[in-house]
Amino acid sequence: MIGKKHGWESGGNFALFVAPAAVCVFLAFYAPFLMNAYYAFTDWNGIQRAARFNGISNFVELATDADFLGSVVFTVKFAVLYIAITNFLAILVAVLLNHKLAIAGAVRAAIFVPYILSLVIVGFIWSFVLGPGFQSLAASTGWGFFKVDWLGDLRVVGLTVVLVSVWQSLGFYVLIYHAGLQAIPKETSEAALLDGAGPATKLFKVTLPMLGPSVTSCFFFSLAASIRVYDVIVSLTRGGPGRATSSVTFDIYTEAFSRNRYGYGTAKSLAVLLLVVILAVVQLRKMKSREVEA
Amino acid sequence: MKVPRRLPAEAALGVLAAVYLLPVIVMVYNGFKPYSEIMTDVLALPHSPTMGNFTAVWRDMDVPTLFFNNLVITAIGVAGIVAISSMAGYKLSRTRSRLSWALFLVFALPMLIPFQTIMITVLKLAKTLGLSNSVVGLGLQYWGFGVPLAVFIYHGFAKTIPRELDEASIIDGATQFQGFTKVVFPLMKPTTATIAVLDVMWIWNDYLLPLVMVNSHKSTRTLTLAVYSYFGQYVSNYGYAIAALVIAVAPSVIFFLLLQKWIVNGVVAGAVKG
Amino acid sequence: MKRMVAALAIAVVAAGAQFAQTTTIKWFANANEYQDYYAQLIKAFNKVEPGIKIDLEVTQDDYPSMLKIQINAGNTPDIFNTMLGTEVESFADYSADLSSQAWVGEVLPSVLPDIKYQGKVLAVPVVQNGFGIIYNKKMFAEAGIKSVPKTVAELASDCKKLKAKGITPFGNGFKEWWVFKHIFMNFQAAQSPDVHALNVAFQSGKAKFKDNPILMSYFDMIDLFMEYSAPNPISTDFNGEMNLIGTGKVAMITGQGIWAEPGINKIDPKMQLGIFGIPVNNDPSKTKLVLGADHGWRVNKDSKNLAAVQKFLDFWYNSDFSKTYWTDMLKATSPIKGTKAANTSMNRDIQAYSDAGDVYPEAQIWATDAFHQKFGELTQEYIIKSKTKAQVIAAMEAAWAKIGR
């Protein structure tokens, strides 16, 4: 099939269709990435003109860098919680809103609004709410919930960061799952009902399995979002208290720009990327094999 | 009999939606208070709502120029992303080969790279290509940054278009490209609407890339950048900041509400099949 | 006829020369609390020099990173901002030598050493900042505190007096890493008047906290601030702190200085604020106010508009305008000679310290912000007890040596 001159499989057309996007992606990501990667092998501080080559010593250093390893641990915890909570809630909300209620569309819109606001603004709003806001509420209601220091107490601050991120992005995933539900052929749902299946059985035996492909897409998107988490941390907690909520991207950025160790920061980013790419390729492969079955 | 039973469900959902949006609502009505009142009690409703922050900010910000810049950047960005990603996503989905799979990964993996890690070299490259300090240049840059997600989604949607249609579209001797633009692409309208909305939301409200590329001159700034000048690490004039934010975000919110129903139909086939 | 043609020719040439002389200076600034004053400055300057346009870009959030990105991409602004002290050296590669400019003679002798590197003047001091504990004068009076505390014991007893009146003593913005370096400055200067040498000693890895008892008492002061603190200090940011004092919820705020006064007065225009030096132990002679210049404007060495920038700096720092800029607009202490103190409650306090010579130099400029951020994080970890005091001190010493320079 490949190589047929005028059919859909011809090579010339392949290039025509794919090249523009490929070139753009190369210029936007791959070229800058490769140009930048060089610094990982230098001791460049990000300001002065000279950068000295220092081999792999940056990589050796990061293997024992307590702050960096702490950030990796935090990011993994964040990713697990974020991916689980976001997808669970998004499926739940999508299923709940799947009844033909007039208000369903408006609710979906409402949940989507925070996604429109950039994370810096979201962090700003929540710092306000969780700080002076909750203190006001604590004074007027006396509830313990409002007295907890959600941004300062080590036991809960990580959870706070996860929940604010979920709040902000939930609308995006709800939309994707909602669409996934629309795609379940009516015949299948109705057949299940005819067989006497109750709502719970229908959910677990019919709906969820057919949402499989949506789940894998959303899994990839939420994984990518977890690796990149930065803005919400800067505006909510500044990575603190101490380094308690420092994510991998936060650590890399701080290292490169604030600590004036750009070369070292870049080495960290390469290390992280290597791990994540492996994870992502495995996950996407799984998705591809599922496609074949469907 | 179903109607009365639905009302409590609808009411409950409505309340939940309002609660979900509460932080945003609180923030917005604070925009109608003077600074000292905001600082005194952030949760209280305004004593006497005032448009003072809005008028001050509108005067200060040169909204028409900023709005126009935002519009140009977003329009160029979204148009380009849709055009090149629809072609690429569709073609990759139709072609079963190792190369195709490898290219799909090439398109998807950049979603894992945090922009902060490549900021300096992106700016250097943009400067070399003449794309920095220019509103049009920034719009063009978004093509590359928006391709990954768009290709991912178009790739999935392509499966719902029957292959017979591909052959049918070139039956009269039309080239593949003509077949694509005349027959296939119009069928992908819902997906295109999805991507358009998601990308408008993103590009209109984007901060970091414009900060690095177009913030140097008043004439090239975007609306969102102007908002950020009111948010400072050490000092924020909250009243102005919120007013500016509302002005900046409003157009994209309106856009979203208008195209909401198209998205739903679009995402249907889009990311569903993976 | 000939004369008319000649006159016309001259007019045309002059007009052409005028047009040709429109230069644009790119000024990249931080600190958006002074943004309005910069606009007024530009306006006033353009009355005198209409041919020199100034394109001002102000970024507060993460200014240092944005600056580095622009410099590295080859977009170095004509005028940009860095800290003084060590950063004068860090950015020397990009800084024009300003030693011969007229305004240099107007800079106060106490500020002059901080803007030089290898004998050359490479920076223009922005303002002088006074650092200490800001307090609400009325609340102090209500609690029967007649004079500001000069020792730690007095400060502790003042806190008790405030509590007895139902007033919360301290509002702490401990979410911000930079409040800690401000507090620490009093301890550094009290330990050793040559704060530059002190920093160098720690950066070499040789000096240790345990040999410097006054530095050790920094932790005791943190304990005191925490003991009498408003709720949730570790999640309160700068705006939260201003809110606390501005709305009358606390009597004092820590880690701040003169720049906070306008913001607090925006919340309560009637509040009379004062400032006093942080006591380090029970020796009153060691209690002084930290006063100095910590940030400076830099001029791009490779700027195409050096002459224009020079005119701008002369106007800013060496003209009649200079007499009113710090006094009336910024309402802060100027770095140049012969200007009057601004007439606000806090400025009067600072002037009193300055007149009596009861001031300490700024220690923070002799270490990098890279170190200061780590220092702040470590103090936070000390407060939340995720590290022991010994661990924190060891980590501080390590960071000071590794990233202090």
Per residue in C229-253, pLDDT (tens digit) is 999 999 898 888 988 999 999 999 9
Which range, of B237-246, C79-88, C121-130, averages the lowest pLDDT? B237-246
Kindly indicate the confidence band of residue C388, based on its pLDDT and cuts at 50, 70 and 90. very high
Alpha carbons B169 and A124: distance in angstroms, whole number: 52
Kindly indicate the confidence band of residue B6, based on its pLDDT and cuts at 50, 70 and 90. low
A221: tokens are: 């998107």
**Nearest Cβ partner for A46 among C68, C233, C403:** C68
What is the per-residue pLDDT across A95-153, written as a single tens digit (0 to 9) for each?
A: 888 776 667 777 887 888 888 776 767 777 788 788 878 887 888 888 888 888 888 88
A237: tokens are: 């907690």
Looking at chain B from residue 135 to 174, which residues have their Cβ under 8 Å from any Cβ of chain A? 141, 143-145, 147-149, 151-152, 156, 159, 166-167, 170
**Whether residue B274 has pLDDT greater than 60:** no
Higher pLDDT, B120 or C12: B120
- Please give the ipTM for the structure prediction: 0.85
Tell me, yes or no, if A117 comes closer than 8 A to chain B by beta carbon: yes
Alpha carbons C299 and C290: distance in angstroms, whole number: 27
Kindly indicate the confidence band of residue A170, based on its pLDDT and cuts at 50, 70 and 90. very high
What is the per-residue pLDDT across C393-405, written as a single tens digit (0 to 9) for each?
A: 999 999 999 888 7
- What would the DSSP string read from start to end of B191-207? HHHHHHHHHHHHHHT--
Strand partners, C298: C80
What is the per-residue pLDDT across A81-95, written as a single tens digit (0 to 9) for each?
A: 999 999 999 998 888
**Whether residue B271 has pLDDT greater than 60:** no
Task: Provide the 10 A C-beta neighbour count for residue C341.
Answer: 18
One-letter amino acid identity for B97?
Answer: S
Phi and psi at residue C252, in whole multiples of 5°? -140, 155
Does the distance separating the beta carbons of B271 and A217 come in below 8 Å?
Answer: yes
User: What local confidence, expressed as pLDDT, does residue C230 receive?
Assistant: 94
**Whether residue B272 has pLDDT greater than 80:** no
Q: Quote the DSSP letter at residue C94.
A: G
User: What local confidence, expressed as pLDDT, does residue B78 receive?
Assistant: 96
User: What local confidence, expressed as pLDDT, does residue A258 receive?
Assistant: 86
**Whether residue C15 has pLDDT greater than 60:** no
C261–chain A nearest CA distance, Å: 21
Average pLDDT over residues B133-146: 94
Query: Which residues on B lie below 8 Å from C263 (Cβ)?
Result: 235
Share of chain A above pLDDT 70, in %: 85
Q: How many CB pairs under 8 A join A and B?
A: 269
User: What local confidence, expressed as pLDDT, does residue B131 receive?
Assistant: 93
Q: What is the dihedral of CA A132, A136, A139, A140, to 10 degrees?
A: -170
Higher pLDDT, B239 or A270: A270
One-letter amino acid identity for A8?
Answer: W
Chain A residue with the nearest C-alpha to that of C174: A241
User: What local confidence, expressed as pLDDT, does residue C240 receive?
Assistant: 85
Length of chain B (residues):
274
Beta-sheet strand order (sheet of C295-299): C52-58, C23-29, C79-83, C295-299, C124-125
**Nearest Cβ partner for C69 among B36, B39, B120:** B120
User: What local confidence, expressed as pLDDT, does residue B1 receive?
Assistant: 44
Check: CB of residue C254 under 8 Å from CB of residue C172: yes
User: What local confidence, expressed as pLDDT, does residue A120 receive?
Assistant: 67
Check: CB of residue C73 under 8 Å from CB of residue C53: no
Tell me, yes or no, if B201 comes closer than 8 A to chain A by beta carbon: yes
User: What local confidence, expressed as pLDDT, does residue B268 receive?
Assistant: 43
What's the mean per-residue pLDDT of chain A?
83
Which range, of C15-24, C146-155, C176-185, averages the lowest pLDDT? C15-24
Check: CB of residue B272 under 8 Å from CB of residue B194: no
Kindly indicate the confidence band of residue B17, based on its pLDDT and cuts at 50, 70 and 90. confident
Alpha carbons B82 and B262: distance in angstroms, whole number: 15
Kindly indicate the confidence band of residue A231, based on its pLDDT and cuts at 50, 70 and 90. confident
Which range, of A185-189, C202-206, C348-352, averages the lowest pLDDT? A185-189
User: What local confidence, expressed as pLDDT, does residue A102 receive?
Assistant: 65
Best of C175, C177, C239, C386 to disrupt the A interface (most A CBs within 10 Å) is C175
Kindly indicate the confidence band of residue A188, based on its pLDDT and cuts at 50, 70 and 90. low
